[in-house]
Chains A and B, each alone.
Chain A
Amino acid sequence: MTTHTITPAAQAAPCSGTRWQGNGVSDIRRRMVDRVATALCWAATVLVLLMLFSILFVLVRNGVGGLRWVTFVHVTLPPGQAGGLANAIVGSLIQTGLAVLIGAPVGLLVGIYLAEFTATDGKLINFVRFVSDLLLSAPSILVGLFIYMIVVVPSGHFSGLAGALALSMLVVPVVVRTTEDMLRLVPLAMREAAIALGAPRWRMILFVCLRAAREGVATGILLALARVSGETAPLLFTSLGNMNWSIAPGKPMASLPVTIYQYAGAAYADWTALAWTGALLITAGILMINITVRLGLGRNRK
């Protein structure tokens, strides 16, 4: 690597132990710069950790008061009527569940395509991977607009299914990523053994490779679930939200993030309190999934 040439200044710097101890002006300066840089790195780390703890603290302080039984059994009600979040919680569970049911199989198959079909369609595979990566970071509100145009407008009404479809577009690239990575870790010997026993290729992929990689793949699906369960923007124009109890996927459906969004800006104290409780619930759920996944991965690596 030509970029790693050492600068003249560094070459001229004293290398022997005794000279290094010398108190030349440049030495002091170099050490001061090093100290300052080190201090700034500490400061950056502490600052960002403080942000994390500040977010968690505010969530707990404002949200913990609403963790009562009524919050989980009552549906959202007009201000002043002791409403809860039951319809939003159930709606969120249905929509994220459906999104994973739709998105995960597609993501799995595309991950298999990227990992196992390199020999036959190499160039196309790079392109598909590229597009999947783009989809991973595409603005999620535009995903909502897209589903609005192709599902909500033709069908004539908002629906929980449309919301689930929008979310599933965000599930797919996450699952693709982890599935491909995990399949590539499966040793060649296992594939050869399966083929040598006379298994056709599809059985080899599904029942040997995918089975061997199942923990990693499950991790990816969980992470995708965690990612979409907090998404608000794709649901705004697809499942819309619903003040009443609704579990029919063909009708507008409430969800925690959208309810939080509607309530957080409201002028009623009980609505904002519910918004904070919802925020606490959803963050706690997502962080718990993430921590579980990371602890699981850490254990497997040892």
Chain B
Amino acid sequence: MERSATSPSALTGAARGNGDAVFAAIVRFSAALILLGLGGMVAVMAWGARGAFARFGPGFMFDKAWNPVTQHFGAAAPMFGTVITALLAILLAVPLAFGIAVWLTEIASARIAGIIGTLIQLLAAVPSIIFGMWGFAVLVPFMAHYVEPLASHTLGRVPGIGTLFRGAPYGTGFLTGGMILAVMITPFICAVMRDVFLSIPAVLKESAYGLGMTRWEVVRRIILPWSRSSVVGGVMLGLGRALGETMAITFVIGNANHIGWSLFSPGNTIASLIALEFPESAVGSLKFSSLMAAGFLLMLISLGTLVCSRLLLRTKATGR
């Protein structure tokens, strides 16, 4: 240990070096466990997926079929659903999270902001299966009876984007899934935004207010440029969460292996496909292997997103 040589304990270090070495070994072993955990996950997924990749090749990613009868599997539909619902969630959650973060840091008084901020963070603690049940009991009927008929009668008639809003109002589907995910990830994005907004030196904001800027102009011209990369990092973090979410989505996505441009149509995501089909597939079967392959793809997509997010958040933290 190079370090103990320079520290005061070096005086009696010879007798104690042993305990320190043992402790360091234990601690390093635990750190290695973490690396093994993530590395193992990727490796085991890849190992389990080898059958499917050997049979279908890279075309697995672009194949829409999922047919256990003909033993033909492809991940295109659940991948499409995963990406679409996550993007919808981001589209809905970012304005919400931004509005709340601005409200908490710029509009509300410190005490009120403390209470409301805690309530918003409690939403992040609610388990995802509860969101699923709530979505199924509240959001799905609401969408089926009000939002979807209304949207298809108005937005559905607009040329171009109309395709997105046509279709039978089942209530379940991509849009409902995206909305549930949006509610779930808003607190995460909001927490990141709030932290960076609070880290802005007060003098910057004060001088801007002093020059006669309105609150919105301060947010737009001072706060946003200062916090841009962290905000993007927070959004990516939310995206990563949305991509891997299982239980909430399973309740409201409709579970149809289907690609379509209507936001109302039922679909599927990789995570809910695994949750539903995995119990019915035997170890070693082609279906099992295909599910592992889908899981491997999900792993790659969400790890990629999370790596981007961490890099963006880290540059800001060190650059400050």
Contacts and interface: CB of A to CB of B under 8 A. Distances in A.
Contact of B125 (A15, A42, A119, A287): A287
A233 B130 contact: no
A300 interface: no
A251 B4 CA distance: 48
Contacts of A198: 9, 11-12
B214 A150 contact: no
Contact of A130 (B47, B225, B310): B310
Contact of A138 (B114, B244, B247): B244
Contacts of B132: 264
B34 A131 contact: yes
A200 B96 CA distance: 51
A55 interface: yes
A64 interface: no
A112 B244 contact: no
B137 A58 contact: yes
Residue from A109, A114, A298 whose CB has the most chain B CB atoms within 10 Å? A109
Contacts of B208: 6
A160 B103 CA distance: 45
The A interface, classified by DSSP as helix, strand, loop or mixed, is helix
B292 interface: yes
B244 A45 contact: no
B116 A141 contact: no
Interface string B301-312: 011001100100
Contacts of B138: 54, 58
A264 B133 contact: yes
Interface in B9-60: 9, 11-12, 16, 19-20, 22-24, 26-28, 30-31, 33-35, 37-38, 40-41, 44-45, 47-48
Nearest to B204: A4
Contact of B31 (A120, A128, A206, A226): A128
B274 A51 contact: no
Interface string A230-272: 1111001100000000000000000001001100110000000
B241 A137 contact: yes
Contacts of B9: 195, 198-201
A140 interface: yes
Contacts of B283: 153
B241 to A, nearest CB: 6
Residue from A6, A15, A233 whose CB has the most chain B CB atoms within 10 Å? A233
Contacts of A226: 125
Closest 10 CB pairs of A and B: A230-B127, A139-B244, A44-B99, A202-B23, A109-B30, A200-B16, A34-B214, A37-B216, A41-B103, A233-B246
Given A42-B103, A294-B118, A298-B114, 20 more contacts: A6-B208, A37-B216, A38-B216, A41-B107, A45-B103, A48-B123, A48-B183, A48-B187, A52-B122, A120-B2, A130-B310, A138-B38, A139-B246, A143-B41, A232-B246, A236-B278, A237-B278, A237-B279, A257-B129, A257-B247
Interface of A: 1, 3-4, 6-7, 10, 13-15, 20, 30-31, 33-34, 37-38, 40-45, 47-49, 51-52, 54-55, 58-59, 62, 106, 109-110, 112-114, 116-117, 119-121, 124, 127-128, 130-135, 137-143, 145-146, 149-150, 153, 169, 172-173, 176, 192, 195-196, 198-203, 205-206, 226-227, 229-233, 236-237, 257, 260-261, 264-265, 275-276, 279, 282-283, 286-287, 290-291, 294, 298
Interface of B: 1-4, 7-9, 11-12, 16, 19-20, 22-24, 26-28, 30-31, 33-35, 37-38, 40-41, 44-45, 47-48, 95-100, 102-104, 106-107, 114, 116, 118-123, 125-134, 136-138, 183, 186-187, 204, 208, 211-217, 219, 221-222, 225-226, 228, 237, 240-241, 243-247, 251, 271, 274-275, 278-279, 283, 292, 295, 298-299, 302-303, 306-307, 310
